[in-house]
Amino acid sequence: MITELIAVGTEILLGNIVNTNSAYLAEKCAELGLTVYYQTVVGDNEERMKQTIKAAFDRSDVVILTGGLGPTKDDLTKEMTAEVMGLPLVEDIHSRERIEKYMKEYEKNNPQRRITANNYKQALVPEGAIVLDNHNGTAPGLIVEKNGKTAVLLPGPPNELKPMFEEEVFPYFRKKQPEIIYSQMVKICGIGESQVAEDIQDLIEKQENPTIAPYAKTGEVHLRVTAKAENEKECKKLIKPVVRELKSRFGKNIFATDEKKTLEEAVVDMLKAQGLTLALAESCTGGAIAARIVNVPGVSEVFGHGFVTYSNRAKRKLLGVKKSTLKLEGAVSAKCAKEMAKGGCAAAKADICLSVTGLAGPDGGTKETPVGTVFMGCCYNDKTIVREYHFTGNRTKIRQQTCAHGLALLRDCIMEGIQKKD
């Protein structure tokens, strides 16, 4: 089915906010086998909205609209869609009750404020529409079908849109497809995007069913393997040999085959499984790796101490880096990274410590140590290994890559350690 995404809202049009909804929906549509040819952004303007919706229906089967479902007079998405589709708006009793309940709750908690009656506008729906409850706001979502065309209307805030899509819209379209579409994610770290692309070029060239779609993230590459078949079992059967092939090519660089698992979660899972405690000793990343580790809820079981040692004094004092090392080799050196990792383990009484020291720029580069040079060390089982990296890009980009590759190094070391114990 040809599908089109329309984001409604002057905030996006003026660049006040970034249109992340369309990227999210586009990825989901690919997963569902819906073919997206166009994405459009239009402001809260009657005439232009109508024209945009009309043009979308002229060339697509499914139109997914986001935003403009709120209570104000600027919120016009529902009204304009109903008009283009030739459907009257009628009150949905269930939605009205939900809004009433929400308003009472709100006024109880905010006694000095009153929600105005225009909130009930949100209970009006195009006749015959499927109403999607909004568990994180007042505006319900809608699926409207007419003459073989489908409009999906979703609220703009991502925390309202995403759960609604996953719980209701995704299953709706999955059921509609003549074939089942099923996909499996393979997430890779520690290898560059172009290297991964080269390594799978032969697979991508001859692919038919399943397909492999690469998604590049900083320091990670995600490969989505998607199959079409009569049922899920058939899909899995098609996907299995491809995933096996990917596993044989990328081996331990695959950190997850679960869509939702992040790299930091994969690392924390390994630490938990091994009963290991982690410490971090960061210079150029300034705590950003610790901040990623702390993204994982319940991480306190394995992570207690992080040291941000931006100055030489901090490296000496908190981590016991030798004065002579800093003087002779400099702070951005393999020896310093090694002493930082070792010192971090000792200072935190942790089983494993990752250290990072590098030059994120923009200034301070030399011929021997250009901007982008990073040394990372990992101390575990009384052994410390150090790796040297050369990243490119601006300060932010260098630091983001350092974080991802640091987590990848940590994974490597934990796995190596496991092998040694066995």
Does 284 bind its own copies (CB under 8 A)? Our answer is yes
Does 321 bind its own copies (CB under 8 A)? Our answer is no
Least Cβ distance, residue 52 to its own copies (angstroms) = 7
Q: What is the CA radius of gyration of the chain?
A: 26
Nearer to its own copies, 141 or 361 (CB): 361
Least Cβ distance, residue 357 to its own copies (angstroms) = 12
Nearer to its own copies, 74 or 127 (CB): 74
- Please list, residue by residue across 163-181, b when 16 or more beta carbons sit within 10 angstroms of its beta carbon and e when fewer do: ebbeebbeebbeeeeeebb
H-helix segments, 75-115: 77-85, 93-109
Does 71 bind its own copies (CB under 8 A)? Our answer is no
Options 65, 289, 354, 414; binder of its own copies; rule CB under 8 A: 289
Nearer to its own copies, 124 or 291 (CB): 291
φ, ψ for residue 387, nearest 5 deg: -125, 150
Options 71, 137, 287, 320; binder of its own copies; rule CB under 8 A: 287
Options 57, 173, 250, 307; binder of its own copies; rule CB under 8 A: 307
Options 109, 147, 300, 419; binder of its own copies; rule CB under 8 A: 300
User: Which one, of 287, 379, 381, lies nearest residue 339 by Cα?
Assistant: 379
Does 63 bind its own copies (CB under 8 A)? Our answer is no
Q: Which stretch of DSSP H or E encloses residue 250?
A: helix 232-250
Options 45, 207, 257, 369; binder of its own copies; rule CB under 8 A: 45
Which residue in this structure is represented by tokens 């983001």? 400
Options 202, 205, 208, 363; binder of its own copies; rule CB under 8 A: 363
The half-sphere exposure of 51 on its side-chain side, counting CA atoms within 13 A, is: 8
Instruction: Please give the size of the binding site for its own copies, defined by CB under 8 A.
Output: 74
Does 209 bind its own copies (CB under 8 A)? Our answer is no
Alpha-carbon gap, residue 142 to 49, rounded angstroms: 17
Does 15 bind its own copies (CB under 8 A)? Our answer is yes
DSSP label at residue 365: -
Please check whether residue 281 is in contact with residue 289, taking contact to mean a CB–CB distance below 8 angstroms.
Answer: no
Does 286 bind its own copies (CB under 8 A)? Our answer is yes
Cis peptide preceding 178, ω within 30 of 0: no
Options 98, 121, 305, 411; binder of its own copies; rule CB under 8 A: 305
Does 52 bind its own copies (CB under 8 A)? Our answer is yes
User: Would you tell me how many other CB atoms lie within 10 Å of the CB of residue 288?
Assistant: 18
Options 62, 229, 318, 413; binder of its own copies; rule CB under 8 A: 318
